[in-house]
Structure 1
Amino acid sequence: MAPVPHSLTARGRRLARELKAHRERAGMTLDQAAAALGWNRFKLGRIEAGKTKATAADVERILDLYGTEDFVHAALIQLARDAGRRGWWTAYSGVFTGGYVSLEDEASEIRTYHVQLVPGLLQTEDYARAIISAGIPDDPDEVNKRLHARMARKTLLSRPDAPTLRTVLAESALRQLIGGPQVMRDQLTELNRAAQRSNIDVRALPYTVGAHAGAEGSFVILGYADPLDPDIGYSEGIYGNVYIEGADHVARCNAAFDAIWGAALGEEQSAALIAAIAADL
């Protein structure tokens, strides 16, 4: 399960794959191509692995060497420019230190399973503040900075080209009392309100299901509209974040999510359980 580079975007992943494919079509080894470019083999290797961003000038030199067609040449140079664009999240560089938000921002479909907490994209401001404050209780300025960043990230689901979000919440996440009864009640009410939007589907996984495919923890799968951009899985924890990119590993993530989705309550039953939990607070 190899980690993807922290700064990589979906466009950057695509560019890295294309550059490697064109080298192989040109019949050159990594060593041969690097030598012809006057580079250390590790520089080219890191570009092909997506660990180093290739500039438009780098891409132009590489493609000149491989003798690619003019239309491919132009398309990949533009892709390199697009991959290097600064996104809205760069204003929160001290908060979003990894590459997840940039990958999420380009996704056309987001599928998530959560065991303990409501996902960030669906959190109310008070709920998010309670979670963030618990982690850094003595720094209100940092709490506010992180809160603003999280609320800015939520706007992804309201854009004209918003991705679809399919999320399954374990009953434990729905009952975890974050911020007190009123905060939690408001959060659960907001979940049901959000689920009425055409691009959001929220399902509940009740305790009564017993053992299931999500017993090992929360995870996210990001899907992309372009067939050249394969799905990527993501899981985070106290010891770091894991990006799941290998085809076999991603296939297992997809199978696990499908099994969890199948075990979860239907749309109306999920809304009813969420409303009942809120009413009990």
Structure 2
Amino acid sequence: MRNNPPPLAYRLLLGQALRAHRERAGLEPNDVAKALGWYQRKVGFVESGHRKIAMAEAERLSELFQLSPAERERVLNLASEARRRDMVTPPVAGWALEYVAVEAAATQVRVFQEELIPGFIQTASYARAILSTALVPARDGVEAAVTARLTRQQRITGPDAPNVHLLLGEAALRRLVGGPKVMREQLRTLSEFAEADHVTLQVLPFVAGEYAALGTSFMLLDVGEPCATFALTETLVDGEWYDGPPYLERFTAAFERVASASLDVEDSHALLLQVRDEIKE
């Protein structure tokens, strides 16, 4: 994986792989618990990426699921990396730690945001305005959260950045977060970001009318080799992860339909610049 992602990213990948292998083997969580002497809830914790396992347990699971040599090697590698110690905990909400971990490991990021510029390309002033309105205060204060958000941006804009396909509702361009000056700066930054070779930016205009996923912003993150995909939706208080059928198929289909309903890259950039120029400081 890229950018030396944190152990949590490996735990999530390991959990997803173990669940897929268990289901392929026709086993229930209780079967695994009995075979390894676990309590049944531990199976759920491991498969959701919230619990580390010992290397001996990874070996036993490989035998139980009758994995091929290549599958066994991947499971053991993931288990080993997952046991590393996290050196730094970002100042974000608990549920968002998973997103930060997966984002750090992603090879492709697909985002649909109706109303908001995504955190990975927010300016400091825009991020500060958003974070200052949060009902749940940032753990270490707004300024620490702004700094953490800007640091994370290096993974999206740096030399080893993932491919990014960003779909924005027109409202995300027109909502004056932080006021006219802040918004002009944000749109200028977004315009520069959209010109990067690894970025595809499309805007879904108001005139598109109704569309798939209306009222639902979400992210799709592709991680690892072989690729594993995670979908994330956010609410006022937390985030919800989806990493299996039929959910991923539906999120992927929704993303593709929104992309088809959006302006092409050239017209999207033109609309972005038009909106920026319409804002008077």
TM-score scaled by structure 2?
0.82
Task: For 1:271, give the aligned amino acid.
Answer: H
Distance of aligned partners of 1:64 and 1:144 in 2 relative to their CA distance in 1, 3 Å threshold: same
**Runs (5+) with no aligned partner, structure 2:** 1-5
Query: Any idea what the Cα deviations from partners look like across 1:20-58, whole Å, max 9, x if unmatched?
Result: 566688897755654454433443454345442213243
The aligned residue for residue 189 of structure 1 is 188
**Runs (5+) with no aligned partner, structure 1:** 1-6
Measure how far apart 1:221 and its partner are: 1.0
Measure how far apart 1:222 and its partner are: 1.1
Asked if 1:129 is matched to 2:114, the reply is no
Measure how far apart 1:267 and its partner are: 1.3
What is the identity percentage for the equivalent residue pairs of Structure 1 and Structure 2?
33
**Structure 1 Cα separation of the partners of residues 47 and 139 of structure 2:** 42
The aligned residue for residue 179 of structure 1 is 178
Alpha carbons 1:16, 1:49 under 8 Å: kept: yes
Equivalent runs, 1:181-260 vs 2, <5 Å:
181-227=180-226, 229-260=227-258
Alpha carbons 1:191, 1:202 under 8 Å: kept: no
Alpha carbons 1:156, 1:162 under 8 Å: kept: yes
Distance of aligned partners of 1:266 and 1:86 in 2 relative to their CA distance in 1, 3 Å threshold: farther
SS of residue in 1 equivalent to 2:210: coil
Query: Any idea what the Cα deviations from partners look like across 1:86-126, whole Å, max 9, x if unmatched?
Result: 557x331x414221111122111111111111011111111
Measure how far apart 1:19 and its partner are: 4.2
Task: For 1:199, give the aligned amino acid.
Answer: H
SS of residue in 2 equivalent to 1:216: coil
SS of residue in 2 equivalent to 1:108: strand
Measure how far apart 1:249 and its partner are: 1.4
**Structure 1 Cα separation of the partners of residues 277 and 261 of structure 2:** 24
**Structure 2 Cα separation of the partners of residues 132 and 30 of structure 1:** 40
Distance of aligned partners of 1:268 and 1:24 in 2 relative to their CA distance in 1, 3 Å threshold: closer
Task: For 2:151, give the aligned amino acid.
Answer: A
Of residues 95, 106, 125, the one that matches 2:92 is 95
Equivalent runs, 1:16-27 vs 2, <5 Å:
16-19=15-18
Alpha carbons 1:202, 1:267 under 8 Å: kept: yes
**Structure 1 Cα separation of the partners of residues 17 and 244 of structure 2:** 17
Report how many residues are paired.
272
Alpha carbons 2:103, 2:221 under 8 Å: kept: yes
For structure 1, which segment, 192-201 or 153-162, has the greater mean C-alpha deviation from structure 2 after superposition?
153-162
Distance of aligned partners of 1:166 and 1:145 in 2 relative to their CA distance in 1, 3 Å threshold: same
Distance of aligned partners of 1:177 and 1:44 in 2 relative to their CA distance in 1, 3 Å threshold: closer
Aligned-pair Cα RMSD in Å: 3.2
TM-score scaled by structure 1?
0.82
**Structure 1 Cα separation of the partners of residues 255 and 237 of structure 2:** 23
Measure how far apart 1:78 and its partner are: 2.5
